[in-house]
Amino acid sequence: MSDPLKPVSIAILGPGTVGSEVVRLLTAQAGDLAARVGAPLEIIGVYVRDASKDRGPNLPRELLTEDASALVAGADVVVELMGGIEPARTLILESIAAGASVVTANKALLAAYGPELYEAADAANVDLYFEAAVAGAIPLVRPVRESLAGDHITRILGILNGTTNYILDAMTTYGLDYEVALKQAQDLGYAEADPTADVEGHDAAAKAAILASLAFHQRVGLEDVFCEGITSVTSEDIIAARETDQVVKLLAIAERTAQGVTVRVHPALVPATHPLAGVRGAYNAVFVEAESAGGLMFYGQGAGGTATASAVLGDLVSVARHKALGGKGPLESNYAAHALLPVEAALTRYCVRMSVEDRPGVLSAVAEVFARHDVGIEVVRQVPGQSHAGLILSTYEAPERDLRATVEDLRVSDAVAEVKSVLRIEGE
Amino acid sequence: MSDPLKPVSIAILGPGTVGSEVVRLLTAQAGDLAARVGAPLEIIGVYVRDASKDRGPNLPRELLTEDASALVAGADVVVELMGGIEPARTLILESIAAGASVVTANKALLAAYGPELYEAADAANVDLYFEAAVAGAIPLVRPVRESLAGDHITRILGILNGTTNYILDAMTTYGLDYEVALKQAQDLGYAEADPTADVEGHDAAAKAAILASLAFHQRVGLEDVFCEGITSVTSEDIIAARETDQVVKLLAIAERTAQGVTVRVHPALVPATHPLAGVRGAYNAVFVEAESAGGLMFYGQGAGGTATASAVLGDLVSVARHKALGGKGPLESNYAAHALLPVEAALTRYCVRMSVEDRPGVLSAVAEVFARHDVGIEVVRQVPGQSHAGLILSTYEAPERDLRATVEDLRVSDAVAEVKSVLRIEGE
């Protein structure tokens, strides 16, 4: 425990939008922050790759340094905002080894190397905080890790990617096609020129891995997350969903059952009355189901420089306070021994939309395929068509592996002309 | 800092539903909790007024004691679940004086004596946690106090009372009249036989006082909260709201402007697209607007024994961890110097519904009343009637005092037969 009046020294790695905003806020709110921490915060330097050009708008030249290792060696708290795996990983490990606490917003790094970093932090008795890595400004890590510390989380359903939520919401609200909605998201700056990481679900999957690790005290890596994006979602899917009071959302789902934990990201049908259904535009939200607390939802901006800076600063106050006054946040690597199951073991419901021959006996042939795999059918809707009839079936809950096998058999069934879409039903 | 292997001793005051559930969870999850705290938790006793009859279902007889003062004197952590002002207040002060940290779910006590208790805890360097007092199971205190510690909250809009939200939702969804919806809420156990504390807004006002104190680092007492209940909300209000894509909610609103802080509870019109509009049934939700983070919402069960026990246990893990391993949570009484303003200074918008004489010149006479008080009219809708016409006016934002004066003048205007309802418009 250091002298309460001695400043807490802060090193910032990465001079981008978030880094510049953090520096601006640390300066503008210095008095407020000092009161909350119990000691003044002093920025001792900002690491940039090339001090002659990498400089954000709020970064005074005298703070810049190209020597990251020397910078972290002298810091009480290191704020890592570089992104990417290296050199971020090495610098965080150096910081921890030198006794500094770390705040990071780096979801790719945590999804890939989280357990290594959490264990290093615990072993060195320093804090490693990462609120900004999961859902931007939404306070989520602290509630899950601390507020629910006496409860058992059974399931998390999250809208963790703003770009795909924007696209699906535009398709739902304005009847746009996928391509048009994507173009609009790109024009508005919500989607990158190359939208792959968002629309294929990779970004959501990285966040899901971190969130599942937290919720279930479980090592979950990106490779453990089943991932399916939104590129095959059509206007027809959206319209069919609306007809049954559902909306299509890209969900990250982490579930714990008696058998173990599954983590998956895919488009899903959500009842219109579910709180997640009302999440509009580029907002994120996470719905947590806990044994005692029941259903909880956390909603807010999942990205953006100032929103992310708010989350980073909240973490910075906590860890700096521990540095100034003693104490430490919760352990990071306090793992339980749940089995991590493949997605095939997950229980879910399918909504299968297909076109079928318009003749008697077809429904019975289709129903037989479901029965063969022991998958119960809850609702069947027939939609009259021209050469073929449309058929929409919703199943009861069944293991993903049986649902998949059913769909495989439907695809080769004589009665079925085409399986047009398969969406899982969640949130009921 | 005590020996990490020494148990943390827990005293529980109050043997009711929540107390019994806390005891059950402490026993059922002893191993899990010990790992998270870093030391085992040991219940040293449960205070009951009369050990021969006050005994919850999970309370072993040998834990019961009628001597509260002796019990708290030997505890590391005191969990106060008695409710009411006395003896809760005295026992919490005794606990703090004896060096114990305190977890409480007592909103009435905190709304009335919060500052005294927060200051006592700070002076004794112990924790006083109260997550369960504001919105049941919803993690709200920790996010507001810690996650947003580097941000500035500008406004909080909360649905803090489940009973009134249930009633308004039933009126909206099923077209019920107020009296029928109240009866239904009573039959389902959401409302008390005497529903006054809920429907008049008193319960929401106590929570609003605590929440405003937290958000603005400001001493706010119950007497500082303007409070208007839902008893005068009619089906006509609900229908008129729907016609303009709005819903009626009982909101608790705490706002900070350059002039100061206002805190108020009243029914309000909320846009159907606002996240608060989708909060159904007896659920609670709090929408927080912060400078950097933007809009955040926290949603969940606001009441109920197991939900409240979840929040109490989360607090218990935090404060027990501080007892076992050293450290302390944020300061409680770190007050800023905002002026606390009367509700008359709040800026809001009114939606005024009235019946007027059905003759030329009436609209101009009505408009003149608004102009006299410098209140701008944004939208006027005329609704044809039988002897009188209906007129619904929505104003631009104006100080509450000017809006009130306008309505007073409307009530005595010759052109106006009756002012049928006045609802504030919020959340835009």
Task: Give B36-99 as a DSSP string.
Answer: HHTS-EEEEEEE-S-TTT---TT--GGGEES-HHHHHHT-SEEEE---SSTTHHHHHHHHHHTT
pLDDT of residue B2: 45
Largest CA distance in chain A: 84
Q: How far is A111 from chain B (nearest CA, A)?
A: 22
Minimum distance, in Å, between the CA of residue A96 and any CA atom of chain B: 20
Q: Quote the CA–CA distance of A209 and A265 in Å, as a whole number.
A: 10
User: Smallest CA–CA separation between A328 and chain B, in Å?
Assistant: 7
ipTM confidence = 0.84
Asked if A137's CB is within 8 angstroms of B294's CB, the reply is yes
Candidates B207, B249, B323, B328; catalytic one:
B207
Shortest Cα–Cα distance, A169 to chain B (Å): 12
Residues of B in contact with A304 (CB under 8 A): 294
DSSP B340: B
User: Between the CA of residue A128 and those of A21, A125, A250, B190, what are the distances in Å?
Assistant: 21, 10, 29, 42
CA distance B107 to B131: 10
> Which residues on neighbouring strands pair with residue A104, listed in sequence order?
A80
pLDDT of residue B358: 85
Q: Are A317 and B150 in contact (CB under 8 A)?
A: yes
What is the per-residue pLDDT for B180? 96
Query: Whole-angstrom Cα distance, residue A266 to residue A253?
Result: 8
Torsion of CA A347, A348, A349, A352, to 10 degrees: -110
- A141-300 and A346-425 share one fold: no
CB contact under 8 A, A325 and B326: no
The whole-angstrom separation of Cα A265 and Cα A161 is: 11
Select from B159, B256, B292, B316 the residue whose CB has the most chain A CBs within 10 Å, as the one to mutate to test that interface. Answer: B292
Q: CB distance A137–B292 less than 8 Å?
A: yes
- Specify the pLDDT at position B1: 43
Would you call B141 helix, strand, or coil by DSSP? helix
Contact A80, A103 (CB under 8 A): yes
Predicted local confidence at residue B328, as pLDDT: 73
**Beta carbons of A151 and B314 less than 8 Å apart:** yes
- Find out whether A154 and A255 touch, Cβ atoms under 8 Å: yes
Pick from B21, B150, B330: CB nearest A313 = B150
- Residue A108's contacts (CB-CB under 8 Å, 6 or more residues apart) are A83, A84, A85, A206
Domain boundaries, chain A: 8-137+305-325, 141-300, 346-425
Look at B142 and A143 and tell me if their CB atoms are within 8 Å: yes
**Partner-chain contact B310 A293, CB within 8 Å:** yes
B342 alpha carbon, distance to own chain's centre: 19
State residue A2's pLDDT score: 45
Q: Which CATH architecture has domain A141-300?
A: 2-Layer Sandwich (3.30)
Structure tokens at A384: 């009259």
Match domain B154-300 to its CATH number in 3.30.300.30, 3.40.50.720, 3.50.50.60, 3.30.360.10: 3.30.360.10
How would you write the pLDDT of chain A (428 residues) with one tens digit per residue? 445 568 999 999 998 888 989 999 999 888 888 888 888 999 999 999 887 776 666 678 888 999 999 999 999 999 999 999 999 999 999 999 999 999 999 999 999 998 899 889 989 999 999 989 988 888 888 888 888 888 889 999 999 999 999 999 999 999 999 999 999 999 998 888 999 999 999 999 999 999 998 888 878 889 999 999 999 999 999 999 999 999 999 999 999 988 899 999 999 999 999 999 999 999 999 999 999 889 999 999 887 888 889 999 999 998 998 888 777 777 666 666 678 899 999 999 999 999 998 888 899 999 999 999 999 999 999 888 777 889 999 999 999 999 999 999 999 999 999 999 999 999 88
Chain B residues in contact with A301 (beta carbon < 8 A)? 293-296
Task: Report how far residue B93's alpha carbon sits from residue B86's, in angstroms, rounded to the nearest whole number.
Answer: 11
- Residue-wise DSSP of A91-129: HHHHHHHTT-EEEE--HHHHHHHHHHHHHHHHHHT--EE
- From the centroid of its chain, how far is CA A326? 32
Q: Which of A280, A281, A300, A162 is nearest to B297 (CA)?
A: A300
Nearest beta carbon to residue A292 from set B150, B152, B307? B307
Residues of B in contact with A152 (CB under 8 A): 29
Nearest CB among A142, A310, A318 relative to B290 is that of: A310
The residue annotated as part of the active site, out of A107, A207, A249, A323, is A207
Rounded Cα gap, residues A286 and A135, in angstroms:
9
Neighbouring residues of B360: CB distance < 8 A, sequence distance ≥ 6? none
Q: What pLDDT sits at residue B54?
A: 60
Taking each helix axis from N to C end, the angle separating A202-216 and A107-124, rounded to the nearest 10 degrees, works out to: 30
Of A35, A142, A292, the CB nearest to B147: A142
Distance from CA of A322 to the nearest CA of B (A): 7
Task: Of A329, A327, A313, A318, give the one whose Cα is nearest residue A43.
Answer: A313
Residue of B nearest to A153 (CA): B310
Output phi, psi for A392, to 5 deg.
-120, 120
CA distance B304 to chain A (A): 9
Residue of B nearest to A21 (CA): B292
| Residues pairing with A389 in the sheet | A356
Best of A22, A151, A214, A279 to disrupt the B interface (most B CBs within 10 Å) is: A151
Residue of A29, A79, A138, A147 to mutate when probing chain B, most B C-beta within 10 A: A147
| Subunit contact A293:B301, Cβ cutoff 8 A | yes
Nearest-by-Cβ selection for A314 from B150, B294, B295: B150
Residue B153 has what pLDDT?
A: 92
* Cβ count within 10 A of residue B28: 11
* Whether B207 is catalytic: yes
The residue of chain A with its CA nearest to that of B306 is A292
> In angstroms, what separates the C-alpha of B11 from chain A's closest C-alpha?
17
Chain A residue nearest residue B125, CA to CA: A325
Q: Report the alpha-carbon distance of residue A344 to residue A78 in Å, rounded.
A: 41
Place of tokens 């249930």: B166
CATH of A346-425, one of 3.40.91.10, 3.30.450.90, 3.30.70.260, 3.40.710.10: 3.30.70.260
For the packed helices B88-97 and B107-124, what is the interaxial angle rounded to 10 degrees?
10
Q: For the residues of A256-319, what is the DSSP string, one character each?
A: E-SS-EEEEEEEEEEETTSGGGG--TTEEEEEEEETTTEEEEEEEE---HHHHHHHHHHHHHHH
CB contact under 8 A, A310 and B292: yes
Cβ distance A139 to B147 less than 8 Å, yes or no, reads: yes
Residues of chain B below pLDDT 70: 1-5, 54-58, 331-337
CA distance readout (Å), B238 to B167, B175, B179 = 12, 8, 14
Neighbours of A171 (CB within 10 A): 24
Residues of B with Cβ-Cβ distance to A332 under 8 angstroms? none
Beta carbons of A142 and B138 less than 8 Å apart: no
Query: Exposed, middle or buried, A399 (CB in 10 Å: 0-12/13-18/19+)?
Result: middle
The CATH class given to the A8-137+305-325 domain equals: alpha beta
Q: What are the residue ranges of helices labelled H in A326-357?
A: none
Distance CA A224, CA A214 (A): 15
Residue B275 has which token pair?
A: 């996240």
